[in-house]
Amino acid sequence: MTSDQPESILQVWELQKTYRTGFWLNKTVPSLKGVTLSVEPGETFGLLGPNGAGKTTLLKIVLGIVRRSGGRAKLLGMPIGDRATRAQIGYLPENAYYYDYLTAWEFLSFMGGLFELPGGILKERIPQLLDWVGLDLATAKTKPLKQYSKGMLQRVGMAQALINNPDVIFLDEPMSGLDPTGRYRMREIILALKAQGKTIFFNSHILADVEQICDRVAILHQGELLTSGSLAELLPKTEQYQVQGYGMLPEAAKSLMTNLEEMGDRWSGQLQGDRQAFLNQLHNSSATLEQLTLHHQSLEEFFLAQIQDQDSGS
């Protein structure tokens, strides 16, 4: 690497994990089968994949919580597990188990203590963080966490992940289980962190959220990386139009369409070929076009297509 290139925040080479299970630990579950990826400074990176793909495993290895079976990884230029590096990262776990009888204030003070943050700093930072994630200060000082809703707990979790003012933040399914308002708020928080220049790595299977937030995504399936890149690179740019109308369609117009559906006089479908050629065909016929809209392939469609290709062995 040359000196004018900033070093990657995270680099993972051929990472492998095989869990041993069963009473005699004689069964093996291969969860990561040689994953290579990198995350650059200031990037919001989304690791996508269905349940059991290995997303949490990868995150836990990078954070030094789970031991890898093979491969290498570096976080902030250091081998994973380095103590000094841990002080610069924040982590929102997938299933955050909180201390039920503590208030949010007590919990955040406790977490700040683990980072050896002085009391004076915490007294300033905790109210700032509570405000930031949208939690009421008076409630945070009095209500035990067991009385919090899932959405409120997720916000406490986010405040906890930011207590040490980290440069790099790992979020494992930050939107899961949240209602639309909760998801919207979480998205706003992540976008605000991104605007501050933080590097964010997050796991998700909620594609719409990833699509709106991430600069780059990777798709993990059964422990293997299927693809990675920016959304602009991954989503094909070929233009597709959704068309809808009524009246007798000429055969030449039909041949330009896919997914043609006809119900009596009405028809709809997708236009693959030349839009102008289709319009010319209609012009010379009795058919009337009601709607023609540009259709972008969503990340969701792309994701499903990738996984289906893999499952069908192609």
In whole angstroms, how far apart are CA 292 and each of 119, 242, 275? Answer: 62, 6, 9
Which of ligand ATP, Mg ion, none binds 57 (CB below 5-8 Å, type-dependent)?
ligand ATP
Please report whether residue 44 would count as binding Mg ion according to CB under 5 A. Answer: no
What distance in Å separates the CA atoms of residue 165 and residue 160, rounded to the nearest whole number? 10
Is residue 210 within 8 Å of residue 217, measured between CB atoms?
yes
Please report whether residue 57 would count as binding Mg ion according to CB under 5 A. Answer: no
Part of the chain binding ligand ATP (CB under 6 A), chosen from 53-61, 255-263, 290-298, 305-313: 53-61
Part of the chain binding Mg ion (CB under 5 A), chosen from 16-24, 75-83, 87-95, 137-145: 87-95
Query: Out of 8, 31, 56, 281, which residue is the one contacting Mg ion (CB under 5 A)?
Result: 56
Is residue 72 within 8 Å of residue 8, measured between CB atoms?
no
Please report whether residue 26 would count as binding ligand ATP according to CB under 6 A. Answer: no
What distance in Å separates the CA atoms of residue 167 and residue 139, rounded to the nearest whole number? 28
Which of ligand ATP, Mg ion, none binds 135 (CB below 5-8 Å, type-dependent)?
none
What distance in Å separates the CA atoms of residue 199 and residue 193, rounded to the nearest whole number? 8
Q: Least distance from C-beta 93 to ligand ATP, angstroms?
A: 11
Query: Out of 15, 48, 54, 130, which residue is the one contacting ligand ATP (CB under 6 A)?
Result: 54
Is residue 146 within 8 Å of residue 102, measured between CB atoms?
no
Which element (helix H / strand E) includes 17? Answer: strand 10-21
Which of ligand ATP, Mg ion, none binds 147 (CB below 5-8 Å, type-dependent)?
none
Is residue 36 within 8 Å of residue 12, measured between CB atoms?
yes
Please report whether residue 56 would count as binding ligand ATP according to CB under 6 A. Answer: yes
Please report whether residue 55 would count as binding ligand ATP according to CB under 6 A. Answer: yes
What distance in Å separates the CA atoms of residue 125 and residue 162, rounded to the nearest whole number? 10
Which of ligand ATP, Mg ion, none binds 162 (CB below 5-8 Å, type-dependent)?
none
Contacts to ligand ATP by CB under 6 A? 19, 21, 29, 31, 49, 51-57, 94, 205
